[in-house]
A and B are shown apart, each in its own frame.
Chain A
Amino acid sequence: MLRYILKRLVSIIPVLLGISVVVFFAVRLIPGDYATVTLGTQYTEEAAAALRQRYGLDQSIITQYFIWLKGILTGDFGFSYISNQPVALLLFSRVPVTLELTLFSLLMAVLVGIPMGYWAACKRNRMPDSAVTVLGLLGISIPGFWLGTMLVLLFSLTLKWFPSGGFVPLSEGILANLRCMFLPALALGVAVSAVVMRSSRSAMIEVVDQEYMKMGKAKGLSQTRLILKHGVKNTMIQVLTILGLQTGSLLGGSVVIEQIFSLPGVGSLALQAINNRDYLVLQGTVLFIAVMFVLINLIVDLLYCVVNPQIRY
C-alpha cells in the first residue's frame, strides 16, 4: 500500500511540471503588453521599461519560467500587477469560497445522485427508473449558468427566499452563509448529481445481476439489506471514479457560477485576471485549480485500495 502511494505520488510529478509549463506559457501568449495596459495614458518608454524591470518581464521567457517555478515551490506566487498584493494572499482569501461551493455541490451529488441512482436500478424498467432516467437526461442537458439565472428569478427576485448574489463568510454566521451558498451550489450541483445518478444506476444494475446478489436473495436477505450490505460496496469504485472526475466539472463550472452570483472565489479571480492581463494572478489561479483536480483524482485512486481491499498495486 505504502509503495503504491509513493509510486502514485512520484507519477504525478511530471504531470504537475507539465501543468506548470502549460499554464506559464499559455498565459504569456495572451496578447496585450502588461506595461501598456497598466500605464494607460501615462505610458512612456521609460516608465514601461522600469515597470518591466520591476516585475522581471525584461528577462528571457525561460528565465522568467524558472524564477516563477522556484517561487511556486517556496509558496511565493509573485505579486498582482494590479493590486500589488501577493498572489498567494489573493488565492488564500478566495479559496474558501470556491472550496465551499465545490464541496456543497459534491455533497448534493452524493446525497441525491447516488441514492436515486441505486433506487432506479432496484426498480429497473419501472416508473421510478423511467423518472430517474428522464431527470438524469434533463440534469446533464440544462446549462448550469442558465439554471442559476432561473433560480435567482424564482427564489430571489420573486419569492425573496434567498439573496440573488454576494457572499457572507462562515465566520459571520452559518445561516447567512448557507443562505447565500444554497442557490449557487444548486445551480452547479444539478448537472453533477445527474451524472452521478446515471453512473450509480448503471453500476448498481451490473451488480444486481451478479451471482452473489442472487444468492443473498435466495438466502432470504431483504432487498434493502442486500443493496446496503453487498450492492453499495461493489459499486463504490465506479461511483468514486465518477465523483473524482466530476470535481473537474465543478471546479470549471464554478468560474461561471461565481460570476452569476457575484461570489468572490478563485474562478472570478481568474476572469478578472484575464480582463486585466494580470499574468501572475491568472497563472496562480489556473495552476491552483489544475493541481487541485490532479490531487483529488490522486486521492480517489488511493481510496480504491480502501474501498476494495482486493486491489493491490
Chain B
Amino acid sequence: MKEFMHRFLHNKLAVAGSLILLLFLLSAVLAPVIAPFDPYYMDSTAVLMPPGGKHLLGTDNMGRDILSRIIYGSRISLQVSLVSVSIATAAGVFLGVLAGYFGKLTDGIISRVIEIMFAFPEVLLALLIMAILGPSLNNIMIAIGIVYTPIFARITRGAVLTVKESLHVEAARSIGVSDFSIIVRHILPNVLAPILVQITLSLAFAILSEAALSFLGIGVEPDIPSWGIMLNNGKSWIEIAWWVGVFPGIAIALAVLGFNILGDGLRDVLDPRLRNVEN
C-alpha cells in the first residue's frame, strides 16, 4: 500500500486526474455553500442573461443561474457515475468470479450472456433499458449499471482464469480451504488491479452516458439540474444564447477528462510494464 501510494503520488497523470476530480467532488459536496443561486430559482427579470455581472456564466431561458446549475449538476453526474459503476462492478465481478472460478456450464452460460450483451452498442442498450424503466434518476443508474456489467464480468473472468492456476491457490485448495475463502482471500486481491483501472474508466463513460441519455430526453427528469438536460436545453437556444449550452459541455468534458487521466495514471502505477506506453 505504501509503495502504491508512493508510485501514485509520483505519477503526474494520476495526480492531475485526482486534482480535477477533487475539484468536482468539492463542488458536489459544498454545492449549497458555493452555488451563488438556488439552481431551481427562476428569475423572470434575468432571462437569457449573457455571462458576467452577478450571473458569472449567464442564465438560461427560465432565468436560472447556469453556474449554480452546473455546480448542482456535479452532484447528479457524480451520483449517477458512482452508483451505476458500483452496480456494474458488484454484478460484473460476481459473474466474472463465478464464470472464471467454477468454469464448465456456469462459465458457458455466463460467457454467452456476456457475449450477447456485448453485441449491443452501449448507448443503444442503455436507451432500450431506459425505454423499459422510464426516465428517472434511479432508473438511469440501474440502466448504466446493467450496460457496464459485462465489461467487468469479462475482465474479472479473464483475471480469475489466470490467478486460479497459480501455486498459492492450488496450495490453498489442496489443504481443503473452502471455495468461498479461496475466492475472497486469494483470488479477489489478485484481480483487483485491472478492475480498479476499469472502474475509473467506466466512471468517465457513465458520466457521458448519463449526459447522452438526458440529452435525448430519456435520462433524468427534465427539472433536475443534470448536465445532459442543460445541454439539451442549450441546443434550443444556441442561436441567440450560446452560453446556455457551452458551459455544461465544458463541465462534462472536464469531469470525464479527470477520470480518464486518473485511469491512465492508475494503469501506469498498477502495471509499470505499461508505463509510458498506454497514455
Contact = CB atoms under 8 A, between A and B. Distances in A.
Interface of A: 14-15, 18-19, 22-23, 26-27, 29-31, 124-125, 133, 137-138, 140-143, 145-147, 149-150, 152-153, 157, 198, 202, 205-206, 248-249, 251-253, 255-256, 259-260, 270-271, 274, 282, 286, 289-291, 293-294
A140 B260 contact: yes
A150 B123 contact: no
Contact of B122 (A145, A248, A274, A286): A248
A143 B119 contact: no
B49 interface: no
Contact of A259 (B116, B204, B216, B256): B216
B245 A26 contact: no
Shortest beta-carbon contacts, A-B, top 7: A252-B121, A146-B249, A252-B123, A18-B116, A141-B257, A141-B256, A248-B121
Contacts of A138: 253, 257
A81 to B, nearest CB: 15
B53 to A, nearest CB: 23
Contacts of B122: 248-249, 252
27 contacts: A14-B112, A18-B116, A18-B119, A23-B128, A26-B132, A137-B261, A141-B204, A141-B253, A141-B257, A141-B260, A142-B253, A143-B212, A143-B252, A145-B212, A147-B249, A149-B249, A150-B249, A153-B245, A153-B246, A157-B238, A249-B122, A256-B216, A270-B127, A274-B131, A274-B218, A282-B131, A289-B124
B128 A26 contact: yes
Interface in B205-221: 208, 211-212, 215-216, 218
A251 B249 contact: no
A15 B116 contact: yes
B276 interface: yes
Contact of B235 (A29, A125, A260): A260
A289 B121 contact: yes
A255 B252 CA distance: 19
